[in-house]
Amino acid sequence: MQTPAHSGIAEPLTYLAAAALPAGTLVRVPLGQREVLGVVWGEAAPEAAGVEGPVLRPVAAVLEGLPPLSEGWRDLVDFAARYYQRAVGEVALAGLPPQLRELGADQLARRLARKPRAAADAGPAGDTPRTPTPEQAAVLAELRAGGAGAFLLHGSTGSGKTEVYLQAVAERLAADPEAQALVMVPEINLTPQLEARFVARFGPLYGAGAVVAMHSGMTNPQRLGSWLAAHLGRARIVLGTRMAVFASLPKLALIVVDEEHDPSYKQQEGARYSARDLAVWRGRREGAQVLLGSATPSLESWWGSRPPADGDPGGRYRRLAMPSRVGAGDLPAVRLVDMNLQPPRTRLSAGLVDAIAQRVARGEQSMLLLNRRGYAPVLACGDCGWKSECPHCSAYRVFHKIDRSLRCHHCGFAERVPRACPACGNLDIAPVGRGTERLEEELAELLAGVQRPEADGGGPVRIARIDADSTRHEGELARQLAQVHEGAVDVLVGTQMIAKGHDFRRITLVAAVNPDGALFSSDFRAPERLFSLLMQSGGRAGRDSAWLAAQGSRAEMWIQTFHPQHPLFGALRRHDYPAFAAQQLEERRAASLPPFSFQALLRADARTQEAAQGFLTAASADVEDLPEAAAVQRYPAVPLTIQRVANVERAQMLVESESRVALQRLLAQWHPRLHALRRGPEGQGIIRWLVDVDPQLI
């Protein structure tokens, strides 16, 4: 059941029932003064069942009409709770829709009595199966012959991975009238075309309710409807984000994880699970096939799919390859602009501006990537050195010119831009650096004299910006994306939101304006993320080879950098992910970093940094007596990069071992000691603590 965070109640509680209840049955039970949703996990131990008197409280109600949650689902929850060091009830209840937790037995009965939508509502077919390319056909044949297990599909951008997903799902559903498939995407609002294609492909075959979505952008009633459809077997396909890995699918036959490298699959709040890794575990437990797809796989998956060689038995996954683009379209040519050779304070090189202007004049579209929203990252005074620091965080408030505000992107604190420097009264305070708002403004000035072709209606350049600020209102993202697809936008400016999953047919030029920040980051995963982002965003260019040929144009990716000789850019120019991965893996092996070691973070939030670090230091000393301590390296406690957020000080301690078993054993024995430490003098001032296993952000 759902228990308060850090309550120390990690094990199932025992209640009395009038009759034996099968494991997996959903019930309502009293907890303190509340009545909460619970899941029957099994029969109580004899000593607990024999307790007399008022110790055991009775089950309040059984949610009739719902089949019990399957043993496979409960095993998944058990494993996730054990591996990620969370309470079983927390993980189980997080996997159920919020509205289900509030419904009583009578309310649920009325909800189940509603008739599902008729198959006639599915609408006309809008997406018919396409003849596979030779590479697609080879991949589908290997999947067909491979049986259960995990496969890594390394397909270049535009190689047709989505069509492989569609046809693989179709084959599973056709082979078994009860089979179900789970298709996971990093962020559902960034891949509307994928959802539309699945609905168009399978709705006419299996009815309007054949495809359901599961993601946090849905209302609670919508999430409950999707969960019920999947649990009752009415839905054949669940399309969702990381939360969908816990969907109740009693006849699961196939799991697809699209863009498996994406960090969004790692939950960053509560139970910090990796949905990708849980998908692989779930597939193995339930005998389902798992297909991980990406043009730039995570290094863990790449290493896990290595072929056998020189005594190495190889990885656990089978690697499949689709290196060619559908329609024989070439990948964009990568051009590096050495910003050291540009005039001082150049923001957009003259060559890049000219290349964009030429494309606008031909009726083509361009896309500029700058992974920083707002107008400028900081507002500063040149006289006294004042900067727009957030009073609640150890970070700067970002200047947003559109609404003349200074806004902290960590705690949300916002104020109007001051008329003068708050410290010295100087009227000349100015933005430093730039974000997407400023880039949009600069582009409008630089392209002011450029005209669109008369065939497209003529007129000045149309520039659109897509980031978290411009798409805050419901439906705004879909509206802006529709404008891009319709050709109503000439230049698209945005953050990484525009780099993922979109099939822009008329974009022929993609430019990364300032990607150097990740090259020398203290986070060892930063180069991997940068390479992935650049390769994925470059893949938005030239996706319609026939239209490109008709234009007499070629797809290009421009990268403005102060480090053009960096090996990352060399691999990117060749579109050579294997070479980049080999170089990165060699560096990680030398440094004993994942995937050659296993990590966890112990985090503490407190009123003072001293209290947070003191708690972590005491926690490290508290496990010195454990046998596993010798095999697990515990590093000193340090502040987080952004050490204060919303007036809460944050510190962390990295724990690392070359043995996953040793690390897990230490963490399991550490957990009760941390609860005890929190209640002692070392826990004074501590707001919360948490364990993050296999962290993505260090």
Token digits for 387?
């900067």
Query: What separation in angstroms does the CA of 4 have from each of 90, 215, 267, 272, 567?
Result: 9, 24, 19, 17, 49
647 is in an annotated binding site: no
Query: What separation in angstroms does the CA of 24 have from each of 69, 111, 482, 571?
Result: 4, 20, 44, 50
Check: CB of residue 257 under 8 Å from CB of residue 184: yes
Which residues neighbour 622 within 8 Å (Cβ) at sequence distance 6 or greater? 670, 673, 677
525 is in an annotated binding site: no
Q: Which residue has the tokens 């046998």?
A: 627
424 is in an annotated binding site: yes
Check: CB of residue 566 under 8 Å from CB of residue 339: no
Name the burial class of residue 504, with classes exposed (0-12), middle (13-18) and buried (19+) by CB atoms within 10 angstroms of its CB: buried
DSSP for 340-394 reads GGSPTT-SS-HHHHHHHHHHHHTT-EEEEE-S--SSBSEEEETTT--B-B-SSSS
384 is in an annotated binding site: yes
393 is in an annotated binding site: yes
Token digits for 29?
């039970």
Which residues neighbour 456 within 8 Å (Cβ) at sequence distance 6 or greater? 363, 487
* Cα–Cα nearest to 244, from 184, 180, 196: 184
- In this structure, the number of other CB atoms found within 10 A of the CB of residue 451 comes to 13
381 is in an annotated binding site: yes
Check: CB of residue 466 under 8 Å from CB of residue 331: no
Q: Where are the alpha helices (DSSP H) in 398-513?
A: 436-446, 476-485
How many angstroms from the chain centroid is the CA of residue 626?
A: 35
Check: CB of residue 592 under 8 Å from CB of residue 599: no
87 is in an annotated binding site: no
511 is in an annotated binding site: no
**Binding positions:** 381, 384, 390, 393, 408, 411, 421, 424
**Binding positions for Zn(2+):** 381, 384, 390, 393, 408, 411, 421, 424
